[in-house]
Structures are given as structure tokens and as C-alpha cells.
């Protein structure tokens, strides 16, 4: 199975999230059976990120979106944590600051996108401005409706600068979300993650699903695709994302750059005496 094609949202398609199985695990029965694949793709991801950093020709932006408790932090910790921090960083997006609110909605986003040789992971992203702003009517309908085209143009701008864009929607069920909330209540180390809004936002579940469906369908392009990742099983979520990122990076045909010095001259000058002993 080509995982990139299997989970990719076709450009212009009408996404129906209710028809996508959040508990899907492919041919893997459980985490134990997927252990080898999880390790293999995690290690390959480490190698490819090092190559991207060394070559310095491409950047990679990974956007993570989900309902609350969908697993964005888990993906960062278990999948992208294999990357070298020297060439990788995470950017979270919360309520805009006063300064950010005085600018257009993409102003705070563009300045934290990756440079060439760098991987940046967005924990939430510019898509919040067609999600929460729509669900809670924070801006007029004509405002958020006009943002889809601006987002597509923005992502094309990144691509024109050799910064690639992969976007993942971590798709969990409403029941699984509630189970995860209950686990947080039982675990003192996770109490800090609990807020009233976790529960109050559940009443808007259907509105959020509709907003996500429109964002996925209108902003998944050939160059900057969206992927819907079944995320009820954390281990499968991690495997799917790491494998898709690996497949994409392998398709870039990256190469280590040539040396900027005469390697043989360096060897003769500094290692001949040691090698002769």
C-alpha cells in the first residue's frame, strides 16, 4: 500500500470525516505487531532529516491539526522527537497576541516558517483561522471564506522557496476524545492539560467537523497535501505519519553536498603520521 496516496486528501474532493474509520490500523493487528515497522521508519526519519540539514536545499513544514486530545503533542514527542534539534523546531499557535491581532492572520505564521535545511512542526497552525474563528463566529463569514485562497497562495509561496508542506489531521472519534479526557483526570502529571474548554468545546463537535472538512477539501493541493490519519490508536498514528514523511523525503532525491576542501590534502597533512603508526 502506498501510504501517501492512501491517506491523502484528493484536491477538490468533498471530505466526509464520519465515513473515515478513526480506529483503522491497516494490516497491523496491534502495537506489538507493528514494532519493527515503527522502529524502522523512526530511524529512517532520523537519517533523512540529517540529510536535509546537510544538503541545505529544502525546508519542510509539518502542520498538525486535531480536535482536543487528538495527539499533536504525542506525534511531536514519539515521531518527530527522533530528529536532531539542531535542524528542527516546534512552533505552537495560541490566541493571537495584541501585536499579532493588529496584522493580517498570516503575519505571525510566515515569520516562523522553516528555512532551507530546517524542519518546523506547527502544533496547530494558520488553519486555526478557518476553524475556531468560523465555529465561534469570531470574524464574519465572508472573512473566513476568503482565507482558503490566501492560505493556498501562502503555501505556494513557501513551495516556490523550496519549503515543502505536509499537513496532517489527526482523526479521533468523539468517544475516544472523552476516554482521553478521563485518563487526564486520573493522572496527576496530566492535570495541567485539563481545562473547562476541553469539555465545553465538545458541544461544537459537529461544527468543527464541518470546518475541518472544508479546510481539508479546499486546501489539499498536489504540492501541499492534507492527510487524514486515523488516530484512535496512538501507535498507528505515529507509524502512519513517520512513514508518510519518510516516503515524501525520499522522493526529494537529496544528496550530501560535495566537500569544500581537498579531502586528500587534509588526510595527508593531518593523518598521515597517525595512520602510519
The residue-averaged pLDDT of 215-221 equals 98
The residue-averaged pLDDT of 254-269 equals 86
pLDDT in tens, 163-177: 999 999 999 999 999
Q: What is the pLDDT of residue 259?
A: 83
Question: Which whole-number Å values give the CA distances from 259 to 54, 55, 264, in the listed order?
Answer: 11, 11, 11
Return the CATH number of 3-276, one of 3.50.50.60, 3.40.50.300, 2.60.40.180, 3.40.50.980: 3.40.50.300
Q: What is the pLDDT of residue 276?
A: 58
Q: Identify the band that residue 224 occupies on the pLDDT scale cut at 50, 70 and 90.
A: very high
pLDDT in tens, 119-147: 999 999 999 999 999 999 999 999 999 99
Q: What is the pLDDT of residue 146?
A: 96
User: Which string of DSSP letters, residue by residue, matches 33-69?
Assistant: HHHHHHHHHHHHHHHHHHHHHHH-S-EEEEEEEESTT
Percent of the chain with pLDDT over 70: 98
Q: What is the pLDDT of residue 118?
A: 97
Single pTM value for the model:
0.94
User: Which string of DSSP letters, residue by residue, matches 77-130?
Assistant: HHTGGGS-GGGEEEEE--SPPHHHHTS-TTHHHHTTSPPTT-EEEEES-GGGGG
Q: What is the pLDDT of residue 273?
A: 59
Amino acid at each position: 500500500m502506498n501510504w501517501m496516496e492512501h491517506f491523502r486528501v484528493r484536491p477538490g474532493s468533498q471530505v466526509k470525516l464520519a465515513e473515515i474509520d478513526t480506529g483503522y490500523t491497516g494490516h497491523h493487528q496491534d502495537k506489538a505487531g507493528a514494532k519493527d515497522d515503527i522502529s524502522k521508519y523512526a530511524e529512517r526519519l532520523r537519517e533523512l532529516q540529517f540529510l536535509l540539514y546537510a544538503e541545505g536545499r529544502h525546508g519542510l513544514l509539518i502542520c498538525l491539526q486535531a480536535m482536543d486530545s487528538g495527539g499533536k503533542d504525542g506525534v511531536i514527542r514519539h515521531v518527530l522527537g527522533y530528529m536532531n534539534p539542531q535542524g528542527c523546531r516546534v512552533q505552537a499557535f495560541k490566541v493571537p497576541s495584541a501585536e499579532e491581532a493588529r496584522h493580517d492572520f498570516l503575519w505571525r505564521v510566515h515569520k516562523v516558517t522553516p528555512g532551507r535545511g530546517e524542519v518546523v512542526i506547527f502544533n496547530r497552525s494558520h488553519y486555526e483561522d478557518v476553524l475556531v474563528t468560523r465555529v465561534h463566529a469570531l470574524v464574519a463569514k465572508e472573512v473566513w471564506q476568503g482565507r482558503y485562497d490566501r492560505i493556498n497562495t501562502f503555501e505556494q509561496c513557501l513551495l516556490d522557496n523550496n519549503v515543502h508542506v505536509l499537513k496532517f489531521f489527526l482523526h479521533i472519534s468523539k468517544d475516544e476524545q472523552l476516554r482521553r479526557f478521563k485518563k487526564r483526570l486520573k493522572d496527576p502529571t496530566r492535570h495541567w492539560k485539563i481545562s473547562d474548554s476541553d469539555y465545553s468545546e465538545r458541544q461544537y463537535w459537529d461544527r468543527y467537523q464541518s470546518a475541518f472538512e472544508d479546510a481539508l477539501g479546499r486546501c489539499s493541493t498536489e504540492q501541499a497535501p492534507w492527510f487524514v490519519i486515523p488516530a484512535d490508536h496512538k501507535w498507528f498514528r505515529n507509524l502512519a505519519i513517520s512513514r508518510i514523511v519518510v516516503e515524501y523525503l525520499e522522493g526529494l532525491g537529496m544528496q550530501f553536498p560535495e566537500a569544500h576542501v581537498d579531502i586528500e590534502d587534509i588526510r595527508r597533512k593531518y593523518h598521515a603520521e597517525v595512520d602510519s603508526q
